[in-house]
Amino acid sequence: MPCSKFAPAAAAMVALFLAGCAAPGTQRVAVDNAAVKIEERKQMEIVAEELMAEQLRLNTIRWRLATRGKAVCREDVGPLLGLHSMTRAKGPLGDVMAAKFGVTEKPTVVHVVAGSPAELAGVMKGDILKAVNGVPIAEAKSLEEANEKWRPGAPFSIVLERNRLAVTVTAVPEVGCKYPVGLSPEQIINAFADGKRVMIARGMITFARDDNELALVVSHEIAHNSMKHIDAKKQNMGLGFLADLAAVLLTKGQVSNTNFAGLAAAAYSQEFEAEAAYVGLYLMANAGLPIDDAPRFWRRMAAANPQSIKTNHTASHPSTSYRMVALEETVKEIQGKISRGEPLLPNMQEGKPFIPK
């Protein structure tokens, strides 16, 4: 049957017929299976390199916000060393991470933040973390207890394994916001906070044009945590995790394995969203990062998602125009405090201290 004649056949038949017509006419290039395997590995290496570079970028941004902006995290502060460790994951990506970055089944240091206590103490990439203050790293609960007991100024004794030898170093941690900032593998423009940590989706890292824009997103999520939005929301919704900024995903019709669509219905209330925008800018300012461009960045986020105005998720957010005017007013408020040399703490409702007693 010639391709130009359309037969009124069943849908499956039509599909087969069209597929037949669309077949390439040239010879297929002969490919060696071993070469295909090597190519797979090369592509996996690129994924590993990009994931690692993005996580290291987040670590550096988080370090600056967490240490210099710690006042904004109120009582949610703890000892920070400025190192990032990973354990080897199962599967091909884990194999590549092991080969390229020396990641082992035990917590392996993959990044030491420049100027951090870990760097000053001589911790190096490839070191395996064995114990902190006599508590084996494997006992995560005990380590958390050790962190709770820590008082500012007290040193951490860290036992490392380096080239199969035990090395002990001493570092005096800095005080900073406790929440780790992780990378979520989805290529979507989104970010999340669960009260204890912050997750940034890979798509957001691509969307942010520079580290200052990415810091705006990280500080917004930290603000959701420090202002206890998830705790209050959890009580209302019975949830432990909230997707933030998820409208972009929904209107683009993308699907991911984290079921964001369901989570987006449980988005922050307008009041919490406005507060995260307000407190997040104070965090930026405390960290010495520029805030002038914040309205432009959030406008760009809104423009990436023009249909979102009609979604239920966005209906729970303050309208874009309200948010932009509020942001511009916040920038003016903070710049006024900077010029008068006043403390950079958010204004609370009358009679309430920003840092709870």
Positions that interact with Zn ion (CB under 5 A): 244, 276
CA 83 to chain centre: 16
Q: Give the residue with the Cβ less far from Zn ion, 186 or 244.
A: 244
Least spacing, CB of residue 245 vs Zn ion, in Å: 6
Least spacing, CB of residue 273 vs Zn ion, in Å: 5
Q: 3-class SS at 193?
A: strand
Least spacing, CB of residue 212 vs Zn ion, in Å: 18
Q: Give the residue with the Cβ less far from Zn ion, 158 or 243.
A: 243
Least spacing, CB of residue 276 vs Zn ion, in Å: 5
Distance separating alpha carbons of residues 126 and 144, to the nearest angstrom: 23
Q: With contact defined as beta carbons under 8 Å apart, do 261 and 250 qualify?
A: yes
Q: Give the residue with the Cβ less far from Zn ion, 47 or 326.
A: 326
Least spacing, CB of residue 299 vs Zn ion, in Å: 16
Q: Give the residue with the Cβ less far from Zn ion, 201 or 276.
A: 276
Which residue carries 């494997």 as its tokens? 138
Q: Which residue's C-beta sits nearest to Zn ion? A: 244
Least spacing, CB of residue 224 vs Zn ion, in Å: 6
Q: With contact defined as beta carbons under 8 Å apart, do 294 and 220 qualify?
A: no
Q: Give the residue with the Cβ less far from Zn ion, 101 or 192.
A: 192
Q: Give the residue with the Cβ less far from Zn ion, 156 or 272.
A: 272
Distance separating alpha carbons of residues 161 and 186, to the nearest angstrom: 33
**For 287, which DSSP code?**
T
What is the token pair recorded at 324? 């932009």
Q: Give the residue with the Cβ less far from Zn ion, 87 or 316.
A: 316
Closest to 160 measured CA to CA, from 199, 129, 189: 129
Least spacing, CB of residue 62 vs Zn ion, in Å: 17
Distance separating alpha carbons of residues 277 and 217, to the nearest angstrom: 9
Least spacing, CB of residue 286 vs Zn ion, in Å: 19
C-alpha separations of 72 from 65, 177, 339 in Å: 10, 8, 19
* Full DSSP string of 260-286: HHHHHTTPPPHHHHHHHHHHHHHHHHH
Long-range contacts of the stretch 332-338 (C-beta < 8 A, 24+): 334/281, 334/282, 334/285, 334/291, 335/291, 338/285
What is the token pair recorded at 328? 């511009």
Q: Give the residue with the Cβ less far from Zn ion, 215 or 276.
A: 276
